[in-house]
Amino acid sequence: MTEKYNMPDERGHFGPYGGMFVAETLMLPIQELNAAYQQYLDDPDFIAELDADLKHYVGRPSPLYHAERWSRELGGAQIYLKREDLNHTGAHKINNTIGQALLAKRMGKTRIIAETGAGQHGVATATVAARLGLECVVYMGAVDVARQSLNVYRMKLLGATVVAVESGSKTLKDALNEALRDWVTNVDNTFYIIGTVAGPHPYPAMVRDFQAIIGREAKQQCQDQVGRLPDALVACVGGGSNAIGLFYPFIDDRSVKMIGVEAAGDGVETGRHSAPLCAGRPGVLHGNRTYLMEDDDGEIIETHSISAGLDYPGVGPEHAWLKDTGRAEYVNITDTEALEGFHALTRMEGIIPALESSHAMAYTMKLAPTMSKDEIIIVCLSGRGDKDMQTMAQREGIEL
């Protein structure tokens, strides 16, 4: 790759992936959204407002923290954590919801809808909706409502209506279906804030651009602290928004390895996992072509992961492209390994990571010892683990 990376094309294609696979009623709204997005992408007033909010409301820049003790313990590469867990609402999700909500406001939309898995994106959406005085409806699979009740309560406190989705597998994909149905019905006044780099164009590119602040900051911070580029980037991948946010500003820096960590659930070989890039095949779901978990007939199959935020049968189309071109590598981590990562970071550095991020931690534990002590890994600590206390306690047989 000698040319500068410049994806997607104007209709949202990353090679064969991405695109606009939507019913006719949604074509006009996504074209309007794309036009608005293209307009404000370079609008100085919009950028200034976004930057101010990211600084004063979200608390950016988030630190790049050298996990010295953990690095020493693992005996290999120096591990730096990009602390998205320290953002307002506790995860990287708010980088995107702030951006999309400001866009919604400028487009004159009065009602916000969102889908959520773990509830982090739902909370981040309800938060910005509260701040801007917009009506907010969050769709959440009934299974996720049960396992993430704390986040459901947070969203309700913030004034959002949380709709438990009872169709299909009752998880994130079904929440997305239901949000799309709402959008089709209420397109005139409603803005759909998608939480990950999936959905029809322009969502994968737009969400990436709002999340790319993770990588831009990390690149600068690494330069400031170490004086050079990192050797490897590691991030968990469900839909893949924190990963693409970290990776994107480094794509043209060919010396930097990029590794996305999918959720292997009980193990990829068991079929009970959420790792479409590692074990799926290309298809079309939720408006874009990407790697999917599906059966031979093209029906989407149920996914499994201890982490609700990774429990999704698809993945952002740009990750599909980065995989096929070999620019990024995708690996997987089981539930059990993720828990080891969770405990390791908690005990070594006094930082309790989200179960999603724990997958990236677990892979880092495998990777770091294979590298030398003067090499650098930046790991995206995409969210904090407070929301997972119930799941953890239950898993370990502890009554809270």
Partner 1 sequence: MSRLAATFEALSKTGRKALVPFITAGDPRPDFTLPMMHAMVDAGVDVIELGVPFSDPMADGPVIQRASERALEHKMSLRRVLAIATEFRKTNQHTPVVLMGYVNPIEAMGYEDFANAAQRADIDGVLTVDLPPEEAEQCVALLKARDIDPIFLLAPNSTDERIKKMDVAGSGYLYYVSLKGVTGAGHLNVVDVEAKLKQIKANTRLPVAIGFGVKDAQTAKTVADLGDGVVVGSALIGKIEANLDDLERAKTEIIELLTSMRQAMDSE
Known catalytic residues are: 93, 115, 382
Q: Applying CB under 8 A, which of residues 24, 42, 45, 224 lies at the interface with partner 1?
A: 24
Single-letter amino acid code for the residue at 148: Q
Scan residues 301-340 and list those touching partner 1 (CB under 8 A).
301
Q: Applying CB under 8 A, which of residues 8, 17, 22, 381 lies at the interface with partner 1?
A: 22
How far apart are CB 197 and partner 1 at their closest, in Å?
A: 18
> From CA 58, how far away is CA 90, in angstroms rounded?
10
CA dihedral 383, 385, 390, 394 (to 10 degrees): 110
How far apart are CB 172 and partner 1 at their closest, in Å?
A: 12
Question: Residue 10, interface with partner 1 (CB under 8 A)?
Answer: no
At 263, list the tokens. 């959720």
Q: Applying CB under 8 A, which of residues 69, 131, 181, 254 lies at the interface with partner 1?
A: 181
How far apart are CB 261 and partner 1 at their closest, in Å?
A: 25
Q: Which is nearer to partner 1, 35 or 52 (CB)?
A: 35
How far apart are CB 64 and partner 1 at their closest, in Å?
A: 39
At 46, list the tokens. 């919009």
Q: Applying CB under 8 A, which of residues 267, 284, 324, 329 lies at the interface with partner 1?
A: 284
Question: Residue 177, interface with partner 1 (CB under 8 A)?
Answer: yes
Enter the DSSP assignment of 322.
H
Residue 317, preceding peptide bond in cis (omega within 30° of 0): no
Q: Which is nearer to partner 1, 178 or 337 (CB)?
A: 178
How far apart are CB 148 and partner 1 at their closest, in Å?
A: 22
Question: Residue 140, interface with partner 1 (CB under 8 A)?
Answer: no
Scan residues 28-57 and list those touching partner 1 (CB under 8 A).
28-29
How far apart are CB 139 and partner 1 at their closest, in Å?
A: 12
How far apart are CB 280 and partner 1 at their closest, in Å?
A: 11
Stretch that binds partner 1, among 39-47, 186-194, 354-362, 368-376 (CB under 8 A): 186-194
Question: Residue 167, interface with partner 1 (CB under 8 A)?
Answer: yes
How far apart are CB 382 and partner 1 at their closest, in Å?
A: 26
> From CA 269, how far away is CA 101, in angstroms rounded?
41
Q: Applying CB under 8 A, which of residues 124, 251, 261, 285 lies at the interface with partner 1?
A: 285
Q: Applying CB under 8 A, which of residues 1, 25, 68, 189 lies at the interface with partner 1?
A: 25
Q: To which H or E segment does residue 372 belong?
A: none
327-343 residues labelled b (16+ CB within 10 A) or e (exposed)? bbebbbbbbebbbebbe
In three-state secondary structure terms, 249 is helix
Residue 249, preceding peptide bond in cis (omega within 30° of 0): no
Question: Residue 11, interface with partner 1 (CB under 8 A)?
Answer: yes
At 204, list the tokens. 């994968």
At 180, list the tokens. 């799309």
Question: Residue 156, interface with partner 1 (CB under 8 A)?
Answer: no
Enter the DSSP assignment of 160.
-
Question: Residue 298, interface with partner 1 (CB under 8 A)?
Answer: yes
Question: Residue 86, interface with partner 1 (CB under 8 A)?
Answer: no
In three-state secondary structure terms, 320 is helix
> From CA 111, how far away is CA 94, in angstroms rounded?
18
Question: Residue 16, interface with partner 1 (CB under 8 A)?
Answer: no
Question: Residue 101, interface with partner 1 (CB under 8 A)?
Answer: no
Q: Which is nearer to partner 1, 182 or 318 (CB)?
A: 182
At 94, list the tokens. 């708010």
Q: Which is nearer to partner 1, 91 or 293 (CB)?
A: 293
Q: Which is nearer to partner 1, 94 or 113 (CB)?
A: 113
Residues 6+ apart with CB under 8 A from 31: none
> From CA 31, how far away is CA 39, in angstroms rounded?
12
Nearest to 212 by CA among 267, 186, 251, 172: 251
Question: Residue 296, interface with partner 1 (CB under 8 A)?
Answer: yes
Q: Which is nearer to partner 1, 304 or 359 (CB)?
A: 304
Query: β-strand 232-236 against 376-381: which pairing, if any?
Result: parallel
At 190, list the tokens. 């409603």
Outline where 56-212 has alpha helix (H): 68-74, 93-106, 120-132, 142-147, 149-157, 172-185, 203-211
Residue 29, preceding peptide bond in cis (omega within 30° of 0): no
- What residue ranges bind partner 1 (CB under 8 A)? 11, 19-25, 27-29, 167-168, 173-174, 177, 180-181, 184-188, 282-287, 289, 292, 294, 296-301
